[in-house]
Structure 1
Amino acid sequence: MVYKYSPNEQCIRRCRAIVPVILRAVDEVTSQGVRVLVEHQEVVRPLMGWWQFTNRTAKALVSLYDQGYTVEVA
């Protein structure tokens, strides 16, 4: 199966199904803090920042789409 990511209803339905799952996982993982071995902290900090950035971007895109900014989201 091939997924075509473009500004179409099929893609937004897929995103609406996936984004909440990802955001719930973020809350689950970070709700009690994240413990990391000292030797991994230098790597984990930027990765956690990137992970939060991509998750919040996904949430923002769905929100913007819901507000009618379909062209801007695409």
Structure 2
Amino acid sequence: MKVLYFAWVRQKVGTAEEDVAPPEEVRDVAGLVGWLAGRSPGHAAAFADPRQVRAAVNQDFATPDHPVRAGDEVAFFPPVTGG
């Protein structure tokens, strides 16, 4: 699974992307966020408040209960605001 990070999420995690192999029990975006938060202090800081992070799975916006699986591309980014 390829995970992409954008904006301040990338800054906190310390990388723009990484390939990960989460355990079998990680089945949705929320589970992935929880698992990623345990990978490093930077990941923990980025996902400290999951409500402040949006996700896309395979370039489609995704809710926390959206399924994820091996081979997916999952992106995390801050909420987008317009003006």
TM-score, structure 2 normalization: 0.27
- Greater percentage in strand: 2
- Greater percentage in helix: 1
Per chain length, whose mean CA-contact separation is higher, i.e. which structure has more relative contact order (CA < 8 Å, sep 6+)? 1
Q: Quick check: which has more Rg, 1 or 2?
A: 1
TM-score, structure 1 normalization: 0.29
